[in-house]
Structure 1
Amino acid sequence: MNVMLDEMIEERNMCMQPMSGNAAPLSEPEMVKLKKSVPWIYFVLFFAVLNESMFGVSTPSIMAQHHLSTTAVSWVVTVFFIVIGLGMVVFGRLSDIYSVKSLILTGVVLYSFGSILGFALNVSYPAVLVARALQGAGCAAIPALVFVMVARFFTAEERGKMFGMITSIVSFAIGVGPVLGGFIAGSLHWAYLFLVPLPILLAIPYFRNYLPEEQRRPGRLDLIGTLLMGTIITLLVLYTTGDNLWLLVGSLAALIVFVSYIRKAKEPFVDPALFQNKLYRFGLIIGFLTFGTVMAAMFTMPLLLSKLYGLNARMIGVIMFPGALSAMIFGRVGGNLTVKRGSRFVMYLGLSLLAFSLFLQAFSTGLSVWLIGASLVFMYIGFSFLQTALAESVTLVLPGHHIGVGMGFFNMVSTLAGAIVTAVVAKVLDLRLVEIRIHPLITDERAYAYSGLLLLTFLVVVGTLLLYVFTLGKADRVAATTN
């Protein structure tokens, strides 16, 4: 263990060096024009992240309209996460070849087309899933390319300010999504949620006029690697929603082929050397577990509030509103704490708050709905802290030439955690696998499955905290002492 830790610390120290900039030099007039696009960059990012969290609260309404099981309705969230996760890496790679301007415009148009299609064809559940996939494909371009633009065109000082603002926007969008989704689904109809992202079309003329023109660069997208990765993910998620063992076998077979392929390909989907970094591998695991547990709670909560307490979508939004407000307030606090106290301190704080929240949710299920609402505040605050701190922790263990692809793959894994864990949670609830009467005050038998599931997510977060302490956290502490 000590030998492995020494190797990890050495890797971290090698990576903690100034990143070599690859920003394309822009003239002063071009920079002036580019900065005029910054508010619109924030604008489209808000709607991109908002869509990730908004649909979860509408699942009871979709389930009722289309007469679906919990597993079936989970695909409204799952298919979006699958496509956006893979799409973020694809658009990140394409940005090394094509103009960011043309790519983000393509993403905005595709995102909007999927939104219009979903609203128009909401009476057909298969059409809804196709529309969600199109939304995910277009939406993937926005966060992926926003980070590319910030890294490529802005100075270090400007990047720091912009990343702080981005953290606040992302935290607020994740928090306010269920509130807005509940209000719209409760007041109008859940299908109107498809129309919420359409204001991003207003950004098109500003992006066309203000974003810089870039020449096409040499390179190509690894289509075979992309298809193999898509096959791995899709078969794995299909396995989690069903009982067909052959889907798991197919996913593992595709994984073996993928690993063999990227070792031989000239321009692989992802550089295999990236995974030789032990700390990075632990970062991927921690990111998957962290984002997965939060997405599990966000998917479970609307179902819990609807089935146990009989709340409609609007009241579900009201219960979740304090959490959304706290995410907005504490989003930038987490960024500032990371700068002042370091990512390790903020990771400990964020994971502790998340664990406390899930523990409180588990013990409150079947009791006071307002106590559940209060516990959600701690979850949103903890998650807003973790977004900044975990990204910073992973960035610090990557060498400069792996920053782009490394963070792209990290974002994909974290996003796909939502797809995989949501599918697993839906299956667990359908099969009633974790029905636990935690304490005698819970008398409603319907609450047992939800309280047991939330207790399980609490234990996962505790395990994640311990994993961080003995890997990234320990390496960070020892490296800081050594330096």
Structure 2
Amino acid sequence: MKKDLQTLEGRMRDSEEANALQPVSLDLRKTVPWIIFVLFFAVLNETVFVVSTPSIAAELALKPSEVSLVLTSFMIIFGTGSIVYGKLSDMYSLKKMVMIGLLIYGGGSLLGFLAHRYYPAVIAARILQGIGGSAIPTLLMIMITRYFKSRDRGKMFGIVGSTVALSEGMGPVIGGFISERLHWSFLFIIPLFTLLSIPFFLKTLPEEQPRGGKADFIGAVLFVAATALLILYLTDSRWPYLVISLILYGGFAVHIRRVEEPFIELSMLTNGRWVRGLLSAIALFGTMAGLLFMVPQMLSQVHLMTAGAIGWVMFPGAISLVFFGVYGGTLVDRKGYSRVYYIGLALYISSLLLLSILAGAAPWLLSAVLVAAYVGFSFLKTSLATGVSQTLTEQEAGVGMGMLNLVSFLSEAAGMALVGKMLADGVLEIPLIPIITASSAHSYSNLFFSFAIIIALGAVLYFSAFRRSR
């Protein structure tokens, strides 16, 4: 997700004292089922399209680089939108923001279903889904902090984390089943179920008076536009995209120096350990997103598997996040985040090297190796988030962890775009590993090996920042 709710949890807890003044308390038994329901269908949209990208590419005659935009367009908006909604919730009624998010999410989903034969409309629908969907996890976390009693919040944060992991794990299976039995366009119908929650939230959430404040919308628009054009350049290699992107980034840099509450705080860049932690996160989330995009392409092209079968190959690894995500957090508390990082690093790099060697092997064997990759990623993500949080003061925590969340999403989008571009151009179709006999598997094998190198470089940055930490 490709998304890190621990960062949102930290931000919510930082504001707990201010929100304690709210007199409203929600009924746990009535509210929890609806929170689980809405969150499940919101987060599902992050992974449900992954295994269907080969089918989408075949039907719309798209290159891997082009079909990657079906995933990356959603992630870019989802990542930046989570920060924007967090700020807006401090200015406007939470109830209205939830309603707006759900309606935009549903509208984008309906557009995607009705206009699925037109590629630009599919991308527009995914952008709208990102705009609306990004409201849901953010606002639900704020809702927990603002309206639940302090003794219930830890339990609720745990429920949220488990729901997110379950949704991400079920996404490939549900997406593959629907694509194979019906059609990939029906994946756009799934988010419409969230609209069923509107009557409940309208009745339950209190009316709030606008509290005022400032949101750096200009900065957000400049940053999102610049990033989107950079992703387009990585996808299509057209120089105008890069030039305009750099111009917009320049305008963004000038703008945030002139506003009181900028979208991104430049002062944070003086924190060297925090910056190195973010760079390490870029390597981690970028490679994992590239892997998630690449594996379905490989299983389709090399092993000629259907979307439904691909979903089941990926399911054991994805669902392992439900169990090992919680276990990794417990292990961090007991052994320290650096030790957990070492364990995750060994698992993740080993699995990438094995995938490189076994790219043409039996799908069941690849599925087993993917479990190790998912577990390693889960440990790395948990320990990295914990380590980065230790570099921040109490005043910097909200901005610093929010930036980690944003960087994670953008890295995922860039990782998928780069992998799509490299597969489309065939730049790695070189027989480097003798054991790989199928020529169609060379690119995938070499990409897995490249990912292992990138993770090793990210680990060097991590060690330089946290080697003396617990």
Same fold (TM over 0.5): yes
Distance 1:25 1:170 in 2: 26
1:67 — aligned with what?
61
1:100 — aligned with what?
94
1:7 — aligned with what?
none
1:458 — aligned with what?
452
Match of residue 244, structure 2, among 250, 255, 271: 250
Residues 40-88 of structure 1: CA deviation (Å, up to 9, x unaligned): 2232222222111111110111111111111111111111112112211
Cα distance, 1:388–1:135 mapped onto 2, change above 3 Å? same
2:334 — aligned with what?
340
Distance 2:341 2:65 in 1: 32
1:268 — aligned with what?
262
Aligned-partner SS, 1:476: coil
Q: CA deviation at 1:156?
A: 6.1
Aligned-partner SS, 1:101: helix
Report whether the alignment pairs 1:88 with 2:82: yes
Does the CA-based 8 Å contact 2:70-2:126 persist in structure 1? Answer: yes
Matched letter for residue 419 of structure 1: A
1:11 — aligned with what?
none
2:172 — aligned with what?
178
2:420 — aligned with what?
426
Report whether the alignment pairs 1:474 with 2:430: no
Matched letter for residue 476 of structure 1: S
Matched letter for residue 126 of structure 1: P
Q: Tell me the TM-score normalised to structure 1 length.
A: 0.89
2:405 — aligned with what?
411
Q: CA deviation at 1:360?
A: 1.3
- Aligned residue pairs, count: 459
Distance 2:301 2:426 in 1: 14
Match of residue 308, structure 2, among 305, 314, 317: 314
Report whether the alignment pairs 1:37 with 2:31: yes
Cα distance, 1:27–1:451 mapped onto 2, change above 3 Å? closer
Does the CA-based 8 Å contact 1:362-1:454 persist in structure 2? Answer: yes
Q: CA deviation at 1:38?
A: 3.1
Match of residue 225, structure 1, among 196, 214, 219: 219
Match of residue 366, structure 2, among 349, 369, 372: 372
Aligned-partner SS, 2:221: helix
Report whether the alignment pairs 1:241 with 2:235: yes
Does the CA-based 8 Å contact 1:435-1:451 persist in structure 2? Answer: no
2:109 — aligned with what?
115
Q: Tell me the TM-score normalised to structure 2 length.
A: 0.91
Distance 1:106 1:20 in 2: 23
Residues 200-221 of structure 1: CA deviation (Å, up to 9, x unaligned): 2222222223334433112122
- Which 5+ residue runs of structure 1 have no aligned equivalent? 1-14, 478-483
Aligned-partner SS, 2:439: coil
1:280 — aligned with what?
274
Distance 1:211 1:393 in 2: 36
Distance 1:74 1:68 in 2: 9
2:3 — aligned with what?
none
1:193 — aligned with what?
187
- Which 5+ residue runs of structure 2 have no aligned equivalent? 1-9
Does the CA-based 8 Å contact 2:279-2:461 persist in structure 1? Answer: no
Q: CA deviation at 1:283?
A: 2.4
Report whether the alignment pairs 1:292 with 2:307: no
Report whether the alignment pairs 1:383 with 2:377: yes
Cα distance, 1:228–1:364 mapped onto 2, change above 3 Å? same
2:6 — aligned with what?
none
Matched letter for residue 372 of structure 2: F
Does the CA-based 8 Å contact 2:93-2:209 persist in structure 1? Answer: yes
Cα distance, 1:249–1:70 mapped onto 2, change above 3 Å? same
Report whether the alignment pairs 1:24 with 2:16: no
Cα distance, 1:348–1:90 mapped onto 2, change above 3 Å? same
Does the CA-based 8 Å contact 1:337-1:346 persist in structure 2? Answer: yes
Distance 1:318 1:238 in 2: 31
Cα distance, 1:350–1:151 mapped onto 2, change above 3 Å? farther
Report whether the alignment pairs 1:147 with 2:141: yes
Distance 1:202 1:341 in 2: 43
Q: CA deviation at 1:324?
A: 2.6
Moved more, 396-405 or 44-53: 396-405
Residues 347-387 of structure 1: CA deviation (Å, up to 9, x unaligned): 33223222222111111111222111111111222233334
Does the CA-based 8 Å contact 1:37-1:211 persist in structure 2? Answer: no
Cα distance, 1:201–1:194 mapped onto 2, change above 3 Å? same
Cα distance, 1:408–1:243 mapped onto 2, change above 3 Å? same
Distance 1:87 1:357 in 2: 33
Distance 1:124 1:40 in 2: 34
Does the CA-based 8 Å contact 2:22-2:146 persist in structure 1? Answer: no
Distance 2:350 2:170 in 1: 21
Distance 1:330 1:402 in 2: 29
Moved more, 370-379 or 278-287: 278-287
Moved more, 58-67 or 30-39: 30-39
Distance 2:136 2:52 in 1: 24
Distance 1:96 1:117 in 2: 30
Matched letter for residue 24 of structure 1: N
Does the CA-based 8 Å contact 2:172-2:312 persist in structure 1? Answer: no
Matched letter for residue 426 of structure 1: G
Distance 1:230 1:287 in 2: 19
Distance 1:206 1:308 in 2: 47
Does the CA-based 8 Å contact 1:22-1:152 persist in structure 2? Answer: no
Q: CA deviation at 1:151?
A: 4.1
Residues 264-303 of structure 1: CA deviation (Å, up to 9, x unaligned): 2122222322332222222221222211111100000010
Identity %, equivalent residues:
43
Match of residue 349, structure 1, among 343, 351, 366: 343
Q: CA deviation at 1:155?
A: 6.1
Cα distance, 1:169–1:178 mapped onto 2, change above 3 Å? same
Distance 1:43 1:218 in 2: 31
Q: CA deviation at 1:460?
A: 1.2
Cα distance, 1:129–1:453 mapped onto 2, change above 3 Å? same
Distance 1:27 1:430 in 2: 54
Q: CA deviation at 1:476?
A: 2.4
